[in-house]
A and B are shown apart, each in its own frame.
Chain A
Amino acid sequence: METFFFMIVAAVAVLASILVITCKNPINSALSLILTFFCLATLYVTLDAPFMAAIQVLVYAGAIMVLIVFVIMLLNVRTESGRRSSHSVLFGSLIGLFTLFQLFYLFNRSSLTGQKGTIDSALINKVGHTELIGKALYTDFLLPFEVTSILLLVAIIGAVVLTKKKI
């Protein structure tokens, strides 16, 4: 039952992501990408990671894609103009093949999937996913967390510098 469900969701995700790169109209690409994010969120839920699922929708589908849709609306890009150059097609397929090869190589080495962490479904169901992530983030990974704020600060300044003519 669960495998069947996974198959459906994964198939929709793959289809939607193919649509992202084949749609001529940028807004349809953006919508397909949102659908892909929804499928990813569903997969997170089936993997006992509801916090990740919520964040996936909240940040990716609800904030980053809003920016992309907003830009498409503001610039009024209707359809893609110009053809894709053969260079980019060649380059893209090379990268795709390389990544595929890498994935196969990694999965065939059993040591990659052999080890398990200490956190499993039983623990998540007992303590809660949000609590586990929070505990790791605010005690063990305190420094990366604080550095994130500096990263966000840089991004805020960058956003202003990019869009303001006079600074």
Chain B
Amino acid sequence: MSPIALDIAIHLAKIALIFFVVLTLAAYLVFAERRILAWIQDRKGPNRVGPFGLLQPLADLIKLLTKEDFRPAGADKWLFYLAPAMAAIPAILTFAVIPFGAPLQLFGREVPLQVADLNVGLLFFLALSSIAVYGVALGGWASNSKYALLGSIRGLAQLISYELSMGLSLVPTVMLAGSLRLSDIVGAQEGIWFIVYQPLAFAIFLISIAAECKRIPFDIPEAEGELVAGFHTEYSGMRFGLFFVGEYINIIVLGGLATTFFLGGWHGPWLPPFAWFSVKTLAFAFFFIWMRGTLPRLRYDQLMHLGWKVLTPLALVNILVTGWILMLR
């Protein structure tokens, strides 16, 4: 094969790998969540379809595809159709900049395990996460339902508030690494992970990504106790499925990013790099599920207070203090 054809083949293979692995992982994360929650609550969980219920995601997919796919009267036709895709696509795209393993030696060349090593990788992630709010906002608004509208307005305000603290908490990691390129940030953590230097920034980032995933205790946009299902109340079939899968892809992607920024990415002893990356990312996913099994939901005013009055100022002070200390050293 000529070098160019080989190049294209390698790139396509990486893209296909990312796409299918992320989608499958998201489907199995739903299953894992149901099993783990059941285990926490001393129930059995789904265990009938296939061995240990392992075929449950497939059954769910068939169910979602064959469900009646209706549009409530008075809903905005095109927005109602497109909103689920707008929610799921940015989540998939973010994975493009995450380095998920050490560069491989293949066919006598170095292949970085990352779809695109952009020199503005961190900004690429932030830009996409700022776009992801439209699915939530427009989906709820287009449904012509009170619960959906309330959910989407709450969701929009929550997402933008926590986006701020999420972005600010990443500034210290860039200061330490001196680059916005994600592979450089991982490279800078070869010795000591950034979580050691920046425990506060890590805590802020972790809380913010939990809010960005709309997970309990921050699931006020879809609080089932009061808003039925929030912004996707009126959705059915695969359109609901896209919202759902988008949310779980988001958990995996944000877990992967937390790994990249604070837990040294794929660095680690004994195990191969790809395994380290997977273990750390899945640990974040498990943490989010565990949180759902443990914590009560925050009230809306508490949620906004936490974002605006605690996390954002703390992140700003953290930046200045970090700068000061790094200069004195």
- In the complex, A touching B, CB below 8 Å? yes
Residues from chain B with a CB closer than 8 A to the CB of A55 are 123
> A interface, how many residues as a size bin?
20 to 34
Contact B131 A62 (CB under 8 A): yes
Q: What is the minimal beta-carbon distance from B29 to any residue of chain A, in angstroms?
A: 26
Is B126's CB within 8 Å of the partner chain A? yes
Contact B156 A66 (CB under 8 A): yes
A62 to B86 Cα, complex, angstroms = 13
Residues from chain B with a CB closer than 8 A to the CB of A53 are 120
Q: What is the minimal beta-carbon distance from B75 to any residue of chain A, in angstroms?
A: 12
B 223-260 contacts with A by CB, 8 A? none
User: Which of B124, B126, B130 contacts A66, CB < 8 Å?
Assistant: B130
Residues from chain A with a CB closer than 8 A to the CB of B55 are none
Residues from chain A with a CB closer than 8 A to the CB of B76 are 25, 27
Is B282's CB within 8 Å of the partner chain A? no
Given contacts A51-B123, A130-B180, contact A57 B137 (CB under 8 A): no
User: Which of B119, B130, B152, B180 contacts A62, CB < 8 Å?
Assistant: B130
Contact B127 A58 (CB under 8 A): yes
User: Which of A58, A61, A69, A130 contacts B119, CB < 8 Å?
Assistant: A130
A54 to B167 Cα, complex, angstroms = 13
A128 to B121 Cα, complex, angstroms = 12
Per-residue CB contact flags for chain A residues 97-130 toward chain B (1 = under 8 Å, else 0) read 0000000000000000000000000000000111
Given contacts A66-B133, A70-B137, A73-B137, contact A57 B127 (CB under 8 A): yes
Question: Which of B119, B128, B149, B160 has the most C-beta atoms of chain A within 10 angstroms of its own C-beta?
Answer: B119
Q: What is the minimal beta-carbon distance from A40 to any residue of chain B, in angstroms?
A: 13
Per-residue CB contact flags for chain A residues 53-83 toward chain B (1 = under 8 Å, else 0) read 1110110011100100110011000000000
Looking across the interface, which residue of chain A has its beta carbon closest to that of B118?
A: A50
Per-residue CB contact flags for chain A residues 33-51 toward chain B (1 = under 8 Å, else 0) read 0100000000000000011
Contact A69 B134 (CB under 8 A): yes
Contact B131 A54 (CB under 8 A): no
Is B213's CB within 8 Å of the partner chain A? no
Q: What is the minimal beta-carbon distance from A47 to any residue of chain B, in angstroms?
A: 14
A58 to B166 Cα, complex, angstroms = 13
Contact B120 A74 (CB under 8 A): no
Contact B130 A74 (CB under 8 A): no
Given contacts A27-B138, A62-B127, A73-B153, contact A50 B133 (CB under 8 A): no
A57 to B118 Cα, complex, angstroms = 15
A130 to B76 Cα, complex, angstroms = 41
Is B176's CB within 8 Å of the partner chain A? no
Q: What is the minimal beta-carbon distance from B144 to any residue of chain A, in angstroms?
A: 10
Residues from chain A with a CB closer than 8 A to the CB of B153 are 70, 73-74
A130 to B127 Cα, complex, angstroms = 15
Given contacts A27-B76, A73-B137, contact A50 B120 (CB under 8 A): yes
Per-residue CB contact flags for chain B residues 122-165 toward chain A (1 = under 8 Å, else 0) read 01101110110110011001000000010011001000100000
Contact A57 B156 (CB under 8 A): no
CB-defined A-B contacts under 8 Å, sample of 16: A25-B76, A27-B76, A27-B141, A34-B134, A50-B118, A50-B119, A54-B120, A54-B126, A58-B126, A61-B127, A61-B131, A62-B127, A66-B137, A73-B137, A73-B141, A130-B123
18 A-B pairs besides A55-B123, A69-B156 with CB distance below 8 A are A50-B119, A51-B123, A54-B123, A54-B124, A57-B131, A61-B127, A61-B131, A63-B160, A66-B133, A66-B134, A66-B137, A69-B138, A70-B137, A73-B149, A128-B119, A129-B119, A130-B120, A130-B180
Query: Chain B: residues with CB nearer than 8 A to chain A?
Result: 76, 79, 118-120, 123-124, 126-128, 130-131, 133-134, 137-138, 141, 149, 152-153, 156, 160, 180
Q: Which 7 A-B pairs have the closest CB atoms?
A: A62-B130, A54-B123, A57-B127, A58-B127, A50-B120, A54-B120, A73-B141
Query: Chain A: residues with CB nearer than 8 A to chain B?
Result: 25, 27, 34, 50-51, 53-55, 57-58, 61-63, 66, 69-70, 73-74, 128-130
